[in-house]
Amino acid sequence: MNSIPSSGAVIAKIHVAKKQLALTDDSYRDLLRRITGLESTKTMRADQLDAVLREFARLGWKPKPAMKRAADPQVAMIYAVWTDIKKLKGGGTAAELRAFVQRQTRTDAHPDGISSAEFLRGDMTTRVLEGLKGWRAGLRRKAAS
């Protein structure tokens, strides 16, 4: 499933491209003005941001392919449920998910918990996934009331 990147993600790509193309601040602002008539990405519409990215690509910038998130289907499901939770609560960060994973995986064998979903194995994966599903269910109930 393809998703449309947020303007924040596109702006981040623009800043990566600027750095990789070694543009000075002046040449970067000149490029923005030439392409959109504006000097800042903060005030640009999505089509203007896309035009800037296309210009960077024309100048030789090549975006790196997105990293594959998870080989384990249960870990992929953790990220899918986390995406649902972020939508229901109006945001969330990778750090917040890592903190949740650590809390859910504290045991005598792992007193600090496991730091990332990619490191989960077996029953720990299930424990985190079920915890996230419970959180999501609570948020859905709250949204429905």
Q: DSSP code of 111? A: T
Alpha-helical regions (H) of the chain: 7-20, 25-36, 46-58, 73-89, 94-104, 123-144
* Mean predicted confidence (pLDDT) in 36-45: 93
Summarize the confidence of residues 2-9 as an average pLDDT.
Answer: 62
Q: What is the pTM of this model?
A: 0.52
pLDDT value at residue 64:
76
Residue 145: pLDDT band with limits 50, 70, 90: confident
- For the chain, the structural domain boundaries read 7-58, 73-144
Distance from the first to the final alpha carbon of the chain: 30
For the stretch 15-35, pLDDT in tens is 999 999 999 999 999 999 999
pLDDT of residue 2 exceeding 50: no
